[in-house]
Amino acid sequence: MIENLTLRQAVELAVTTEQLGGRFYEKMAHKFTHDKDLASIFDGLSKDEKIHEAQFKALLQDVPSEKGVTLTPEQMHFLKATAISKFFSRNAFTELDGLTKPADVLSAALEFEKSILLYYLTIEEVLGPNPKLGEIIKTEKSHVATLMKVIITDARFRGLGDTW
């Protein structure tokens, strides 16, 4: 359990989460090579996660020292609560490796993306507006919308700029 999560630790956890997510999506792209469209979805997500990892590492330079950050009790509790998601652990993706149905994998990816979006929105609330974090959040929202579109319509993924 996360006892005293600092803002810096929250951003470091985001870096780790992006690494884990990137590896998961790489595995899924490889696993579903027989389905070009599905492999393309996971390949695109994997590439974005690697970009986000680098963006969060850069964001760490903007995070003030812990002495310069005052969290309200509500912010601290919400940040900890969002960090406790099942996707924020090193073993979280192991159980997902066994998924074989595309719909199940897409649903798991959607849940992952929604969990990290909520977490990043919470970091933004604590950190305040930040262009680097804002860009990550914008992309994560796009991931959620795109995955939902693919799940609902069984549509082909044509990229993050695709519209419904």
Say which CATH number the domain at 140 has.
1.20.1260.10
The rounded distance, in Å, linking the Cα atoms of 153 and 164 is 9
**pLDDT the model gives residue 1:** 40
- Which tokens go with 127? 């950190």
Whether residue 94 lies inside any domain: the answer is: yes
**pLDDT the model gives residue 69:** 64
Whether residue 108 lies inside any domain: the answer is: yes
- If one counts the domains in the chain, the total is 1
pLDDT tens digit sequence for 84-93: 666 665 566 6
| Structural domain boundaries enclosing 32 | 7-153
- Which tokens go with 157? 């993924």
- 80, 7 Cβ separation under 8 angstroms: no
Residue 133 has pLDDT above 90, yes or no: yes
The rounded distance, in Å, linking the Cα atoms of 139 and 18 is 13
Whether residue 158 lies inside any domain: the answer is: no
Whether residue 163 lies inside any domain: the answer is: no
Whether residue 91 lies inside any domain: the answer is: yes
For the question of whether the overall pTM of this predicted structure is more than 0.85, the answer is no
The rounded distance, in Å, linking the Cα atoms of 164 and 160 is 11
